[in-house]
Amino acid sequence: MNIYEYRHYTEVLRAFHELKSAHPKWSLGLWARKSGLSSSSVLSNILAGRKIPSLSLHKKFSEFLILSVSEKQYFDLLFARAREKDVDEQRLLDRKIAHLLKLHQVSVLSLPQFEMISSPLAYALIELTKLALPLDLEEFAARSVVSFPLSDVKAVWALLEEQGWVFQDTASASGYSCREQVFDLPSDFQAEVIRRFHQQSGSCAMVALEVIPKKDRYFGSNLMAIRASDFSKLQKELDAFRKKILVKYSDTQSLDKVVQVNLQLFPHFSKTD
């Protein structure tokens, strides 16, 4: 059950009851007894929206639903909104609910979607939509330095459109524009996406080193001894530089080239005490 599909407190409870009703032993009376209610009529009135539960009963409902921390936060806001009588407070709660929905209205990633957001190909295609050129997937596949198979290009493009990363916009030069899509991923899943992306970015760089003439590329690398205390400072400087060039060179008109800029920093050896 996706709690973010519901906008009202009683809708969540009715959806839960309907889901549990598939079990032959479940009943409104059983739920009422487990909730400490003497009669199922109180529960019926709550589900019908005629009665708002007490705070203690709301907490029991939360336990029944087995919610994550963020889901419980959303459920608590719906409960507060259902109880609130003051108009200004209602508006404040509505804004908080809308904010949570913006963060969490996402679909569970399938394996193809995971492959998509882990791949430099997806982001190359997104950047392609920003060029002042007609969008041509076949030309991109044929002329791309990495030589992405056309079947992969078309498959990833279809996923990008499906997930809302790109959308048709006749006002843009290419006929497509890019919009932000946020995935609510567990931290360990995010780490795997990032790891795979950098792994594949490194593979793209190795291909570029072999096939692109030196005058058309730049590869630079330093191996240097530093103080361990300066490592985090160096990390921050590189991140600031990455953000600086992204703003300086991407936020312009008449873009006509997609490039890849890799920055890596890692220790080869550290002295131990």
Burial of 37 (0-12, 13-18, 19+ CB in 10 A): middle
Beta-carbon contacts of 205 under 8 Å, excluding residues fewer than 6 positions away, are: 219, 260, 262
Whole-prediction pTM value?
A: 0.54
User: Average pLDDT of 13-33?
Assistant: 87
Q: Which two tokens stand for residue 119?
A: 């791949």
Burial of 156 (0-12, 13-18, 19+ CB in 10 A): buried
User: Average pLDDT of 176-201?
Assistant: 68
**Helix-then-strand count for the chain, H and E:** 12, 2
Is residue 43 within 8 Å of residue 32, measured between CB atoms?
yes
pLDDT in tens, 133-143: 777 888 888 88
Residue 202 DSSP code: H
69 vs 261, more confident:
261
pLDDT reported for residue 69: 78
What are the residue boundaries of the structural domains of the chain, listed by start? 3-104, 111-213
Amino acid letter, 161 = E
